[in-house]
Amino acid sequence: MTPSDKNRKVIYAKRPSGAPTTDCFALQDMPVPVPGDGQALIRNDYLSVDPYIRMRMEEKDSYAPVMAIGETLVGRTVGQVVISQIGGLAAGDWVVGRLGWQDFSVAGAADLQKIDLAAAPATAYLGALGSTGITAWVGLMTFGRPQAGETVLVSAASGAVGSVVGQLAKLQGCRAVGIAGGAAKCALVKEAFGFDDCVDYKSPRFAEELAAAVPAGVDVYFDNVGGPILDAVLPLLNNFARIPLCGLVSQYNATEPYGVKHLREIFNRRVTMRGFVLSDHKDLWPAATQALAQAYAAGKLAYRETIADGLENAPQAFIDMLDGRNVGKQLVRLRPA
Amino acid sequence: MTPSDKNRKVIYAKRPSGAPTTDCFALQDMPVPVPGDGQALIRNDYLSVDPYIRMRMEEKDSYAPVMAIGETLVGRTVGQVVISQIGGLAAGDWVVGRLGWQDFSVAGAADLQKIDLAAAPATAYLGALGSTGITAWVGLMTFGRPQAGETVLVSAASGAVGSVVGQLAKLQGCRAVGIAGGAAKCALVKEAFGFDDCVDYKSPRFAEELAAAVPAGVDVYFDNVGGPILDAVLPLLNNFARIPLCGLVSQYNATEPYGVKHLREIFNRRVTMRGFVLSDHKDLWPAATQALAQAYAAGKLAYRETIADGLENAPQAFIDMLDGRNVGKQLVRLRPA
């Protein structure tokens, strides 16, 4: 990097109606920022694109404020320190942080976390060992509270969060059953992530196949999608089942929300449904990080990545991910390998 | 009572499709039962008819098994002991129990609870001081967890459970807001039960009026009705709101369940929705009973009753209650006063 390098960033150009299109985003060239006292300049190597960003593209605040038009897209990155004015952080160190869709970022110590590439590849810290894995752990352990022998059902099971949930459920001695779209994803869920079973929601016999996959009913439904799949699961819940509601990806692009019909089961089965977002649970990060690192070191935490190349392709990667075209964690490589 | 007296009972004659009709019930004359060892014969004075019975008329088990055709309708009664073969229980004692829609019942000690008519009228033990009040207390205190200064919103607020919930919320230092059908019920909710406000769900401006009644948002939504009212409340919830789901009376008669569209708010606002039924919480009865008795003795627990006359009119009273024609607790007087 020299001072003449430019910093490319993706800014939020237009609010989508329904599914976002590439013209909702715009690429902008800016000067590379200069770190002040107590800051560092980071060159971002990989960018994580995540479903929650779709919610921040709405006109109305969700759990987080919406993004303003003209703002740099939010997202976590992993990269290397170029210049450091932070004690204990040196040029060449690898860090992870919420540094946005851009080549370079300036950040203070509180927004950066050093990572160890001897323990795992850099991209794992955006996925299974990072906020994705922590989301899975917090939702499952805190709100799912699985007991050995119980059945844990997970939607978007081949996705970044879902795939970790199933593996954590297995480590708890549970039966782990996934829901995913298509035979290839279902095979991956079973073979790569070790779920006991996986049901294809695109199958015309989905409801029957789902019931057959959970012969003892469902004790924990870790839901990433909401909508009609949630409706299909509700009648299969056991008494006192728990539903950690991690997202509603099926609804983010919907202009008319789906009406869920089987809420009576929440009453009948005395179910607890709990929405959660990771940022409320900073106190649990150390425990989650440790548990995930241990599982990974023991060879019990597999993950998959779908990597798009080039910042200019980040909008399309995001659009494809919302459409379920990714497998595992959707990343964008910002610097040629 | 003489041995020649007959015991009239209401039996379950036909499954309803949608709203029950009187031909779903049949009156039957039976001999008065004879208590065995460790049993007592009770003459029932008042019968409580409750929404949950509609769920037990379904073809499919809900939280409780369905009633079989030919079975005596379930329901709690208050009455007097006629013959006792139970130690500590004498003829003339007043008891409450789940003794069914009938003039006379035989029951053991475990199914009877002595009540004190010096402390409150007999019918109160079927309502505010009985399982109805306990339902309100358990749902609000255990799953609503109201904090002083919070807003507690209650549907079916003029009903037996709802009216107690609001009064308990006031005792906790909360703002209590009700939802009820019609101006008369809303006036009662405010004037007799002391809610801070009450919104008429039949108003064409319901959504606006509801929003205006909860200027600081909703922290606890104690829901008795589900359906479109739940959908109207969801966008008004505050972060970390709690929804104790006590029933879905708007849905019991529905042949096609209403689809709830705003579940995204459960995620956005990190809401906990929890279905509950009283029978799971026997351990909380003593605490609840004591709290309710104290509030009543202090003049802080008002209640209303709608009383139908005669066992033969119990089916119509039940039908009317499901249609919201009652105010407060719906009872049936079995013996002329």
HEC per residue, A258-323 = CCECCCHHHHHCCCEEEECCHHHHHHHHHHHHHHHHHHHHCCCCCCCEEEEECHHHHHHHHHHHHC
Please give the share of chain A, as a percent, with pLDDT higher than 70. 99
Structure tokens at A30: 């800016």
Could you tell me if A178 and A165 are in contact, meaning their C-beta atoms sit under 8 angstroms apart?
Answer: no
* Cα gap B205→B283, rounded to integer Å: 43
- Please say if the pLDDT value at position A109 is more than 60: yes
Domains and CATH numbers, chain A: 6-127+303-333 (3.90.180.10), 131-279 (3.40.50.720)
Chain B, residues 222-281, CB within 8 A of chain A, namely 226, 230, 239, 245-248, 251, 256-264, 266-277, 280
Binary contact (A260, B262; C-beta < 8 A) = no
- Please say if the pLDDT value at position B120 is more than 70: yes
How many alpha carbons lie under 13 Å from residue A166 in its C-beta half-sphere?
31
| A contacts of B55 (beta carbons < 8 Å) | 268
Binary contact (B274, A270; C-beta < 8 A) = yes
> CB neighbours of A260 closer than 8 A, spacing ≥ 6?
A226, A227, A230, A231, A234, B259, B260, B261, B263
- What is residue B221's predicted lDDT score, i.e. its pLDDT? 98
Q: Which of B135, B236, B273, B276 to mutate to test the interface with A (most CBs of A within 10 A)?
A: B273
Give the bridge partners for B153, in sequence order.
B177, B221
Q: Is residue A61 very low, low, confident or very high in pLDDT (cuts 50, 70, 90)?
A: confident
Task: Print burial letters for B30-46: b (CB count within 10 Å at least 16), e (below 16).
Answer: eebeebeeebbbbbbbb
Q: Is residue A15 very low, low, confident or very high in pLDDT (cuts 50, 70, 90)?
A: very high
Structure tokens at B202: 């039949």
- What is residue B337's predicted lDDT score, i.e. its pLDDT? 62
- What is residue B3's predicted lDDT score, i.e. its pLDDT? 46
Binary contact (A259, B264; C-beta < 8 A) = no
Residue A256 φ/ψ, nearest 5 degrees: -115, 115
Binary contact (A264, B230; C-beta < 8 A) = no
Measure A202 CA to nearest chain B CA, in Å. 21
Name residue, tokens 């987080």. A64
SS3 state of residue B53: helix
Q: Which of A146, A245, A269 is nearest to B263 (CA)?
A: A245
Q: Which of B159, B194, B161, B198 is nearest to B177 (CA)?
A: B198
Chain B, residues 59-88, CB within 8 A of chain A, namely 62-63
Please give the share of chain B, as a percent, with pLDDT higher than 90. 88
* Cα gap B220→B106, rounded to integer Å: 41
Nearest-by-Cβ selection for A275 from B257, B266, B275: B266
B63: nearest CA in chain A?
A: A268
SS3 state of residue B202: coil
Could you tell me if B127 and B133 are in contact, meaning their C-beta atoms sit under 8 angstroms apart?
Answer: yes
A245: nearest CA in chain B?
A: B267
Binary contact (B63, A262; C-beta < 8 A) = no
Question: pLDDT by residue (tens digit) across B169-224?
Answer: 999 999 999 999 999 999 999 999 999 999 999 999 999 999 999 999 999 999 99
Question: pLDDT by residue (tens digit) across B282-323?
Answer: 999 999 999 999 999 999 999 999 999 999 999 999 999 999
Mean pLDDT calculated for residue range A173-181: 97
A230: nearest CA in chain B?
A: B263
Binary contact (A267, B63; C-beta < 8 A) = yes
* Cα gap B260→A257, rounded to integer Å: 9
Taking every pair of C-alpha atoms in chain A, what is the biggest distance, in angstroms? 65
* Cα gap B324→B301, rounded to integer Å: 22
Measure B60 CA to nearest chain A CA, in Å. 11
- What is residue B270's predicted lDDT score, i.e. its pLDDT? 97
Residues A56, A58, A59, A63: what is their CA dihedral angle, to the nearest 10 degrees?
Answer: -50
B228: nearest CA in chain A?
A: A259
Binary contact (B268, A226; C-beta < 8 A) = no
| A contacts of B260 (beta carbons < 8 Å) | 259-261, 263
* Cα gap A77→A68, rounded to integer Å: 21
Measure B263 CA to nearest chain A CA, in Å. 8
Q: Which of A54, A145, A248, A263 to mutate to test the interface with B (most CBs of B within 10 A)?
A: A263
Nearest-by-Cβ selection for B267 from A248, A267, A271: A248
Could you tell me if A121 and A190 are in contact, meaning their C-beta atoms sit under 8 angstroms apart?
Answer: no
- What is residue B306's predicted lDDT score, i.e. its pLDDT? 94
Binary contact (A267, B273; C-beta < 8 A) = no
Question: pLDDT by residue (tens digit) across A210-244?
Answer: 999 999 999 999 999 999 999 999 999 999 999 99
- What is residue B157's predicted lDDT score, i.e. its pLDDT? 96
Could you tell me if B211 and B236 are in contact, meaning their C-beta atoms sit under 8 angstroms apart?
Answer: yes
Rounded CA Rg of chain A = 20
Nearest-by-Cβ selection for B270 from A63, A256, A260: A63
* Cα gap A312→A27, rounded to integer Å: 7
Binary contact (A266, B275; C-beta < 8 A) = yes
| A contacts of B266 (beta carbons < 8 Å) | 245, 273-275
Least confident residue range of A143-152, A253-262, B98-107: A253-262
How many alpha carbons lie under 13 Å from residue A56 in its C-beta half-sphere?
16
- What is residue A337's predicted lDDT score, i.e. its pLDDT? 62
Alpha helices (H) in A138-284, listed in sequence order: 160-171, 183-191, 206-213, 227-233, 249-252, 264-268
